[in-house]
Structure 1
Amino acid sequence: MKYSIETTDYGCIETLEISNGEKYQKRTQRIKGGCRSLDDDFSDQMEKAGIDEEIIEKAYEVYDDFGALDFMELAELIE
């Protein structure tokens, strides 16, 4: 399993790759006063793909409540 997050010109992109090779991506766009998600949460994407419910619940707990805005603000401070 692999998780990564990187800044982009518009905000950030998170990628979650699970051991069977499936990849899920979630793009977040920086907007005035915050951010907005451009893709479904990982848990929603995994549910559509038929992934086991226990895995979906854990992905939701760990990754879908992640503070993308905090990450983008930190990246802006470093740049």
Structure 2
Amino acid sequence: MALTKKSDRSKGDGGFLKRAKQQPSRRSNYFREVWLELKKVHWPSRNQLLTYTGVVLVAVGICAVLIWIVDSALTYGMTVLLGS
């Protein structure tokens, strides 16, 4: 197995220390860009938020009742079939 000479190895982009020094600026750029994107978002008003929340709660309630009805019917059917 041949050993590679130090001069044969690729130089890279400056090594670990250079990348470590760049990390804080990359993090700050990330959070700055996130903040700028959040400014572009069209946030709902309080009334819209309450309306949407109400719609979701009603839909969840309806689904829960439907699941309860189906579960009760299946339980009754299994009881009749098994004769317990």
Larger Cα-atom Rg? 2
| Structure with greater helix share of residues | 2
TM-score (normalised: structure 2): 0.24
| Structure with greater strand share of residues | 1
TM-score (normalised: structure 1): 0.25
